[in-house]
Amino acid sequence: MTLLETKAVDYYYQDGDQRRYILKETSVAFEKGRFYAILGQSGSGKTTFLSLISALDSPKTGEILFEGTDIEKIGHENYRRDDISIIFQSYNLIPYLSAVENVLVPMSITKNKLPDNQQEVAYNLLDYIGITKEKANRLVNQLSGGEQQRVAIARALATNVDIILADEPTGNLDEAMEQEIIDIFKDLAHVHNKCVIVVTHANEIAQQADEVLYLRKGVLSSHE
């Protein structure tokens, strides 16, 4: 069943009289329980595509539907708050908060129904992605890069949304850590029935994804 869908999405920059297309006529559908990898070279429009489906920007034409409803109608802020989670390459954690406090932040923002014992849930999420309670209480800048990315993943899971979006999530990690993160994504998709969409240029992720989409010259296709 389609969870997220783009329909004839165009994105371009106006350069005088000319339009410089980043994405052109992009139509694609994403389903629950699957792990997607979007591959492309630098400047191919991967990040722009991610910013559109994460409602950090709006397409020039076309529409993006979440469960059949245009996200413009849902409202970008509402959509980001209650329907998706984003994981960034540079983790983007709040530096003066501990790991567990970082996980608690989106819980206080979302309108989704969550269990009352949020602190316990946050610790459990961190435990699930391999962060011990002792480390969970540390300020995030006292954790390693891999640990910080795990905290970022735990934060993405905190609001119990169906779509997890990730932008180069293993870009700053070594190979061993990269595989651990990929395993978590696979687990989220296959065990926890999430729709995981990862934008990357790493072949290791592409090889293990359920579906790989290639972005070339603004056109998205399932063929390399």
Partner 1 sequence: MNFWQRALKSITRRKGKSFILFLVVFVLGNVIAGAVAIQQSTANVERETKKKMGNVATVEMDYERFEKETADMSDEERYSEDFYPKTPSVDVYEQIGELSYIKYYDYSNTSGFETNKLKVYTPEDGSMGMGGNYFSLKGGNLTEPLDMREGLIKLVEGEGFTDKDINESTNAVLVSKEVAEANNLSVGDQLVWDIRSEVYMDSSEAEEDEETEDSGSTVVTFDYPVTIAGIFSVVKKDDSGQSDQSDSAQQSNQAWMLMDQINTFYASNNFVKEFNKVQMEKLWGESSEDGDDQQYYTPMFVLNSIDDVDAFRQEADALLPDYYKVVTNTDQYDEIAGGFNRLGVIANYIVIIASIAAMFIISLVVLLFLRDRKQELGIYLSLGESRGKVIGQIVIEVLLVSATALLVSLVTGNLLGGAVSNTLMQSDFMSPQVDNGMVYYGSLMSVDLNLNDVKDAYQVNFSVGYIITYLLLGLGTVLLSAVLPLLYILRLNPKKIMM
Interface contacts to partner 1, rule CB under 8 A: 47, 50-51, 54, 56-57, 77-82, 86, 88, 92-97, 101, 104-110, 139, 167
Measured from the CB atom, the residue of 25 and 57 that comes closer to partner 1 is 57
Measured from the CB atom, the residue of 96 and 223 that comes closer to partner 1 is 96
Total Cβ atoms within 10 A of residue 18: 9
Measured from the CB atom, the residue of 78 and 208 that comes closer to partner 1 is 78
Closest distance to partner 1 from the beta carbon of 176 (Å): 27
Closest distance to partner 1 from the beta carbon of 108 (Å): 4
Q: What is the DSSP letter of 193?
A: -
CA distance 85 to 63: 20
Q: How far is CA 187 from the centre of its chain?
A: 15
Measured from the CB atom, the residue of 147 and 168 that comes closer to partner 1 is 168
Closest distance to partner 1 from the beta carbon of 25 (Å): 22
Measured from the CB atom, the residue of 5 and 167 that comes closer to partner 1 is 167
- How many angstroms separate the Cα of 20 from the Cα of each of 13, 23, 37, 39? 5, 9, 25, 21
Tokens of 135: 């480390």
Taking CA 218 as the corner, what is the angle to CA 214 and CA 224, rounded to the nearest 5 degrees? 20
CA distance 50 to 135: 31
Q: Exposed, middle or buried by CB within 10 Å (0-12, 13-18, 19+), for 83?
A: buried
The one-letter amino acid code at 206 reads A
Helix and strand numbers (H, E) in the chain are 9, 10
Closest distance to partner 1 from the beta carbon of 223 (Å): 26
The HSE-up count of residue 75 (CA atoms within 13 Å, CB side) is 4
Closest distance to partner 1 from the beta carbon of 157 (Å): 13
Total Cβ atoms within 10 A of residue 30: 21
Closest distance to partner 1 from the beta carbon of 72 (Å): 15
Measured from the CB atom, the residue of 2 and 58 that comes closer to partner 1 is 58
